[in-house]
Chain A
């Protein structure tokens, strides 16, 4: 049973560019959340998708957007990249009872903005 898979593993972009990160949830899971983990920090909640809609959102600007597809996979898009967007981006999946121990994380995408 595959767990949460994220692609790409690493990515290098320059300021002002746009980036798309992808996530496939664990089999049987229908809810996907995205977290940003900056160096030396804990993961910070970006937003959550359920039934192809954004259900909750953290304190991130509109440059951060997402999408969930009918197969429950998800994308995170970041526009107009800033140096401060350099971080590990983690995707987590769960069933709809979300904020509990049944939260499974992927290995993340390491984004470097130069």
Chain B
């Protein structure tokens, strides 16, 4: 049973527009959430995180929103750039990040120039 779900396998966005990647989770014990970005032939790299005590965290063009009641988080990229084209993984952890990360299946973002 998937505890972290990314229901959109792919997303295509024009350069300069907003990219919104969604993630849902089922385990109410999750209290720390992360987004990783993965380019082909490279390992995942950390992008941004959010603790369950917050509902928003921003880092430059990247913002993560957390809706605990809906068990939903989203990653917003504004403005999108061609270099953002990659696979984005949502991951979650419990007990303030002291349990192994549980990853979603990923969403492949394509930013079209």
Contact = CB atoms under 8 A, between A and B. Distances in A.
Contacts of A86: none
A41 B105 contact: yes
Contacts of A106: 43
Contact of A42 (B42, B49, B103): B103
B contact residues, range:
20 to 34
Interface string A74-114: 00000000000000001010000111111111111000000
Given A99-B97, A101-B46, 14 more contacts: A4-B43, A33-B100, A40-B105, A42-B104, A42-B106, A45-B101, A45-B102, A92-B43, A98-B97, A99-B100, A102-B46, A103-B46, A104-B43, A108-B43
A99 B101 contact: yes
B42 A107 contact: yes
Interface of B: 4, 6, 32, 34, 36, 41-46, 49, 89, 91, 93, 97-106
Contacts of A33: 100
Contacts of A4: 43
A27 interface: no
Contacts, number: 59
A99 B98 contact: yes
A56 interface: yes
A100 B89 contact: no
B103 A44 contact: yes
Contacts of B36: 105
Q: Residue among A40, A43, A58, A102 with the most chain B CB within 10 A? A: A43
A107 B41 CA distance: 6
B103 A105 contact: no
Contacts of B104: 42
Nearest to A33: B100
A48 interface: yes
A24 to B, nearest CB: 13
Nearest to B41: A107
B73 to A, nearest CB: 15
Nearest to B43: A105
